[in-house]
Amino acid sequence: MKRTKTSKQWMQEHVNDPWVQRAKAEGFRSRAAFKLTEIDQKDRLLSRGQVVVELGAAPGSWTQVVARKVLPGGAVIALDLLDFEPISGVDFIQGDFTEEAILDELVRRLNGRHVDLVLSDMAPNISGIATIDQGRSIYLCELALDFAERHLVAGGNMLVKVFQGSGFDEYRKAMGRVFSQVQVRKPAASRDRSSEVYLLGQTKRL
C-alpha cells in the first residue's frame, strides 16, 4: 500500500523525535516510558514491593519502568488487547478489559491482594469521528476508575490517560469522589498538539 503524505510526515517526525531516539538508546520500547518516568519523579508513585495493575500496557514501555521500580518484592499485572514480548517478573493478560471474563481473570490473578497503584494508558481504536472516539475513551477511563475504587488499598493511587473534551470535567469530578486529590499532569514527552493529559488520583478515600 502506498504511503500517504500524512503517514510520511508522521514517520519522518517519529524517526527524528528526540524522545524516540532516547527511548531506543535507553532500551525502552517506546517514548511513552518518559511520560511515566517524569510523573513518577514528581509524584513518587512507584516503590519497591508494590502491587501494580497496568491497563493498556502494550507495547510495554510503562511496564518496563514499573518492573524496574517495584520488582523484586512486588507484583506487576499488565493487561492489553495486543500481545507484547514478555518482561521478566510481569504477569501479562491479553484480552479486552471491557469484557467481564477478562476482568474476572485479572481479579483472579490478584489472588486477594489489594492494589497499591492502578495505571491506565488505555485508548480506544480510533474511528475518526471525534464524538464517538471521545465517548469511547471516557468509557474506558470510567471502567478503570471503577476497578480502582474496588481494588485499590486505602491510600492508594491511580494514574489515567484522559483526552480533554466532552466528559472530561465530569470524569475529573468522579475521580475526586474516590481520591483525596486529583492532579492534572502533562509530561514533556506528551506531544503538545495532543489533547491527552494524565489525571493523578492520590490517596484513595476509605
pLDDT digits (tens, 9 = 90+) for 11-58: 455 556 787 888 888 777 788 999 999 999 999 999 999 999 999 999
Contact (CB, 8 A) for 160 and 202 = no
C-alpha cell at 23: 527511548
The verdict on whether residue 91 carries a ligand-binding annotation is: no
Q: What is the pTM of this model?
A: 0.87
Rounded to whole angstroms, how far apart are CA atoms 149 and 205? Answer: 9
User: Does 42 qualify as catalytic in the annotation?
Assistant: no
- Quickly name the fold that domain 30-204 has: Rossmann fold (3.40.50)
80 assigned binding-site residue: yes
Task: Report the DSSP pairing between strands 152-163 and 51-55.
Answer: unpaired
Half-sphere exposure of 180 (CA within 13 A, CB side): 9
Q: Which pLDDT tens digit goes with each residue over 89-103? A: 999 999 999 999 999
Choice among 2, 5, 8, 161 that is catalytic: 161
Q: Tell me the C-alpha distance between 185 and 69, whole Å.
A: 20
Q: What is the domain partition of the chain in residue ranges?
A: 30-204
Check the annotation: does 17 bind a ligand.
no
Q: How many Cβ atoms are within 10 Å of 155's Cβ, its own excluded?
A: 13
How many other C-beta atoms can be found within 10 angstroms of the C-beta atom of residue 108?
10
The annotation status of 40 as a binding-site residue, yes or no, is no
